[in-house]
Amino acid sequence: MARGQQVSQELSEVLNQLWSLDKNRLRPGTDYKISLQGRAGYVAQGSNYARDRASDPLFTYVNEDKLKHIETYAHFINLLDNYETSTGVSETVTSEELKENRLFIDSIVETDVMKCAHKYLVRKGQSPADLGQFKKQLYDIWFRLYHRDRSGGEDSCGFEHVFVGETKHGHEIMGLHNWVQFYLQEKHGHVDYKGYKARANKDTPDEDDHVLNLQFSWKGLVKPVGGSFIGVSPEFEVALFTIIFLMSNEKMTSAVVKVDEYMLELVVYRHGRSIGTSYPKLLSSNNRDL
């Protein structure tokens, strides 16, 4: 358990409903394969060097045919090249990119996962029942541009930070918590997986775990540790982090939940009416204390 926090039973219940409805989640060992290799060591934030405990990529196989033919993944992937990853550089959103954003939202709200999340949020008085208004709410939370770096213009949004990744002044990786982006960046030689993060060697995660704490380099920088779901659908991540964002007005919300076999700390930072960042931290799996 993280720092004495209690498990949120109600959040756990609704997130397990989302988990069971996530039929677009890819199956480990079948739809994708990962190679965890070594346990990564300590690296200070801002360092550009980490000892490589993994000589091979994290992903050894991903069924790209599924990514192309499942609508939500296909629309999601279309969004990944729409951003300037350096903070302080203003984003320019083209009409084509606006259309891609809306197509992604249109596709995810049709899934059982997002329908369940919407129903829950309406019941809690946090979202409008009208589907068009709910889509607008999702757009504001994930795609509304804002100033992350005061030296620039509107240079960021929740989607860019969480799913695409950003760099801060050329010395820090921020965000990049999505497995599809990680896989594609790794495939093109932009990401170098350094190893999994755990407290001790006996806490080695399994290669069929759907949540991992990772260390990696990207754009010449090192991320000491980043939490990511593995294999889950884009709609699942958007749904669960939207729920946590809307159920609290705090600048930072940390909720400990039990989802399937995983004890997780789900962290969400608010940036006005939008998400600043959101990510999972794996606390334990299969009763293993990580």
**Is 210 labeled as catalytic in the residue annotation?**
no
Q: Exposed/middle/buried for 244, CB within 10 Å: 0-12, 13-18, 19+?
A: buried
Nearest residue to 180 (alpha-carbon basis) of 257, 260, 66: 66
**Is 169 labeled as catalytic in the residue annotation?**
no
Torsion 124-128-134-136 (CA) sign: negative
Catalytic residue among 75, 118, 197, 223: 223
**Is 177 labeled as catalytic in the residue annotation?**
yes
What would the DSSP string read from start to end of 183-249?
HHHHHTTSEEEEEE--SSGGGPPPTT-SEEEEEEEETTEEEEEEEEE-S--HHHHHHHHHHHHHT--
Spatial CB neighbours of 97, under 8 Å, sequence gap ≥ 6: 79, 82
Catalytic residue among 75, 177, 197, 258: 177
Ranges of beta strands (E only) in 39-146 are 59-62
* Catalytic residue numbers, as ranges: 161, 177, 223
